[in-house]
Copies of this chain bind each other. A is one copy, B any other.
């Protein structure tokens, strides 16, 4: 058959991620991506209208892979308080891990977060929805007492920014961080708790 490999958006994204990892966000150019794909850079523009949109699509893929394991926890069954605790700790752990394993992509993510781009906002909304799912499970189970699930989910997200927002990444390696996570989570879970029945 000797089938010619066609240029698909998916293939471009894969290669762009590699190029971004190799050269870093600041140095990577569309010409580099085209070279790695062995096509002219004009062809890349046939699939993505601008460098920014290409960069954003790569970030979206990266962020989607990040939220997938969290979705599993959010949609699992079981007591909501333990699930929320696990969900938050897993989120912190995944981001922390990525900072170590994939620093160039993390820097890209940080830049995009600063630009408040669509992909990142969408990612945040998606995570807040996952948290809201756990909270409403908790209300149903009688473990939580919450006026507005959506607003409270965002409050949980905001209150844990220190541990998941990329702007605080440098602080994560501080040796006191695990203890500080414990303290904030304890406080938040107590704040959500329904008054004990007797």
Instruction: Name the contact of A187 in the complex, choosing from B156, B165, B167, B195 (C-beta under 8 A).
Output: B156
- The answer to whether A159 touches B179, judged by C-beta atoms less than 8 angstroms apart, is no
A191 at interface by CB-CB < 8 Å: yes
CA distance in complex: A49, B12 (Å): 53
- The answer to whether B183 touches A155, judged by C-beta atoms less than 8 angstroms apart, is yes
Copies held by the complex: 2
- The answer to whether B179 touches A187, judged by C-beta atoms less than 8 angstroms apart, is no
CA distance in complex: A161, B171 (Å): 12
Which chain B residue has the least Cβ–Cβ distance from A185? B155
A158 at interface by CB-CB < 8 Å: yes
Contacts of A179 in B (CB 8 A): 151
Mark out the residues of chain A between 149 and 198 whose CB falls within 8 Å of any chain B CB in the assembled complex: 151-152, 154-156, 158-163, 165, 167-168, 170, 179-180, 183-184, 186-192, 195-196
CA distance in complex: A189, B165 (Å): 23
A161-B161, A187-B188 in contact; A155/B180 too (CB < 8 A)?
Answer: yes
Contacts of A116 in B (CB 8 A): 170
- The answer to whether B183 touches A187, judged by C-beta atoms less than 8 angstroms apart, is no
Beyond the given pairs A151-B183, A154-B180, A187-B192, 9 more chain A to chain B contacts, judged by CB atoms under 8 angstroms and listed by A's residue number, are A114-B170, A152-B187, A155-B184, A155-B187, A158-B183, A158-B184, A161-B168, A167-B168, A190-B191
Contacts of A170 in B (CB 8 A): 114, 116
- The answer to whether B158 touches A162, judged by C-beta atoms less than 8 angstroms apart, is yes
Which chain B residue has the least Cβ–Cβ distance from A183? B155
What are 10 contact pairs spanning A and B, CB under 8 A?
A155-B183, A155-B187, A156-B187, A158-B162, A158-B163, A158-B183, A159-B159, A167-B167, A186-B191, A191-B192
Contacts of A114 in B (CB 8 A): 170
